[in-house]
Amino acid sequence: MNLETKWLEDFVALANTRSFSASARQRHVTQPAFSRRIRALEQAVGATLVDRSTTPVDLTPEGQLFLVTARNLVEQLNESLGHLRGLAIANEALDIVAAHSLALSFFPPWISRLQQGIGELPTRLVAMNVGEAIHVLREGKCDLMLAYYDPYASMQLDPEVFPSFSIGQVKMLPVSLPDEAGEPRFPLDGKESIPYLAYTQGAFLGSSVRMLLKNDALRLRLRTVYETAMAEGLKGMVLQGIGMAWIPDFCIREELKNGRLVRAGGEEWDVPLEIRLYRCSLVHKPGVEKLWRQMQKLPRDFLQG
Cβ neighbours of residue 56 under 8 Å, at least 6 residues apart?
18, 19
Radius of gyration, alpha carbons of the chain: 31
DSSP, collapsed to helix, strand or coil, labels residue 222 as strand
Per-residue confidence (pLDDT) for residue 290, from 0 to 100: 84
Rounded-to-integer distance, Cα 171 and Cα 116, Å: 25
SS3 for 42-109 is HHHHCCCCEECCCCCCEECHHHHHHHHHHHHHHHHHHHHHHHHHHHHHHCCCEEEEECHHHHHHHHHH
β-pair type (94-98, 123-127): parallel
Per-residue confidence (pLDDT) for residue 26, from 0 to 100: 84
Adjacent-strand bridge partners of 276 = 147, 166
pTM exceeds 0.85, yes or no: no
Angle, vertex CA 245, rays to CA 183 and CA 206, nearest 5: 155
Domain 170-273: homologous superfamily in CATH: Periplasmic binding protein-like II (3.40.190.10)
DSSP, collapsed to helix, strand or coil, labels residue 121 as coil
DSSP H or E run through 157: none
Rounded-to-integer distance, Cα 9 and Cα 116, Å: 42
Instruction: Report the CATH architecture of 5-89.
Output: Orthogonal Bundle (1.10)
Residue 121: what are its φ and ψ, rounded to 5°?
Answer: -140, 95
pLDDT tens, position by position, for the chain (305 residues)?
A: 567 888 889 999 999 899 999 999 888 889 999 999 999 999 988 999 999 998 889 999 998 888 888 888 887 777 666 555 554 444 578 899 998 889 988 999 888 888 888 888 889 999 887 778 887 887 778 899 998 887 766 556 788 888 998 988 899 999 999 999 999 999 998 888 999 999 998 788 888 888 888 766 676 689 999 999 889 999 999 999 999 999 999 999 999 999 999 999 999 999 998 999 999 887 777 888 888 888 888 776 666 65
Q: What is the DSSP letter of 250?
A: G
Identity of residue 303: L
Outline which parts of the chain fall under CATH 1.10.10.10: 5-89
Rounded-to-integer distance, Cα 82 and Cα 62, Å: 30
* Strands of the chain, DSSP E: 50-51, 58-59, 94-98, 123-127, 144-149, 164-176, 194-199, 222-228, 245-248, 262-263, 271-278
Instruction: Report the CATH architecture of 94-169+275-303.
Output: 3-Layer(aba) Sandwich (3.40)
Outline which parts of the chain fall under CATH 3.40.190.10: 94-169+275-303, 170-273
Per-residue confidence (pLDDT) for residue 85, from 0 to 100: 52
200 in Cβ contact with 227 (< 8 Å)? yes
